[in-house]
Structure 1
């Protein structure tokens, strides 16, 4: 059976997904093996500048970088659950969801209502505003019914996050390479298990 990937997808990736993915894919994994972007206050500030999310005068602390890593980790856990990753146990998922609820209380959102509709925006500025913006966009995806299409690649150690645009919402790997590697790993594990149970 061919690995399920995001190839040949018919759906358009929402702008809200772009925002969340830009944040979660700062971890040192994925197909390009990028460096950790939230390793320190300095690297996080550089990332914010690169993405036009702040100014040179914005203050970023080591606590901000640590908070960003924790928020990102909780989000990736949820996205792995969307991919059906067997390592995300109910206990692990509950911890991540509790962390996200706590974050929502610390980075509140406000409702902006206009004649054309309503949206959630962050009530804060600076780094805390970034965290609120990520949560607001995750909420927008949920309201649009596509939150579960935001996923993290099941292949270890990739966990690169993506929007599943397949027609039947079946992608669990970020691309064919990870899908093939995961299939090969599963095949080798089956052979190993069989050899262990076969009498000599």
Structure 2
């Protein structure tokens, strides 16, 4: 189980387009949502949330997980997905929808507060809570760590509905909007059909 999410540490010879520390957990959390490609809901109930948290190393197998925990995790994830959709310029991920997601993230952060642990080697954010609250706090720590880097805008959710898979945009100019060329092609084909059908 991770003890903290590192912040402000420089990796040796890190590529400019390397995924920031913590971003992998953020994307794994985002990608628990169902997609149009048939991926199931992985946080649908207490049992499935418990399985994901244990597999992610965020809780021990004996930790009790409730249906309310699962609902809270889905709400946190969905707010985060909205922010990542805004990063990819997705339609509907601006204005009040984005503001509501950002408000939810602030409220959640107040429920699962983080504590900075500062040493000679650097600093980490960690949670002093236990169980599921600690796990959700560590997800918030990973989000915070990633947002504090210049790569935050490269964490995106695929613009192709209903895919919305989270991905790290490694294009040189950070212009990626789709998780794959297949999703980009689907959007292009839909736009072409609409143009052909319009009078």
Tell me, yes or no, whether TM beats 0.5.
Answer: yes
2:180 to 156, 161, 175: 175
Counting matched residue pairs gives 185
- What corresponds to 1:61 in structure 2? 66
When normalised by structure 2's length, the TM-score is: 0.88
The answer on whether the counterparts of 2:167 and 2:179 sit within 8 Å (CA) in structure 1 is: yes
Structure 2 distance, partners of 1:123, 1:151, is 29
2:101 to 96, 99, 105: 96
Structure 2 distance, partners of 1:182, 1:123, is 44
- What corresponds to 2:48 in structure 1? 43
* Structure 2 unpaired stretches of 5+: 1-14
- What corresponds to 1:126 in structure 2? 131
- What corresponds to 1:158 in structure 2? 163
Greater relative contact order, per chain length (Cα 8 Å cut-off, separation 6+): 1
Structure 1 distance, partners of 2:95, 2:89, is 12
Give the ranges of 4+ consecutive aligned residues of structure 1 lying more than 4 Å apart after TM superposition: none
Secondary structure of 1:35's partner? coil
Structure 1 distance, partners of 2:19, 2:94, is 28
2:20 to 5, 14, 19: 14
- For residues 68-118 of structure 1, give each alpha carbon's deviation from its aligned partner in whole angstroms, at most 9, with x where no partner exists: 000000000000000001122300000000000000100000111011222
- What corresponds to 1:3 in structure 2? none
Secondary structure of 1:120's partner? strand
The answer on whether the counterparts of 2:154 and 2:174 sit within 8 Å (CA) in structure 1 is: yes
* Structure 1 unpaired stretches of 5+: 1-8, 196-200
- Greater radius of gyration (CA): 1
When normalised by structure 1's length, the TM-score is: 0.87
Structure 2 distance, partners of 1:167, 1:151, is 15
- What corresponds to 2:34 in structure 1? 28
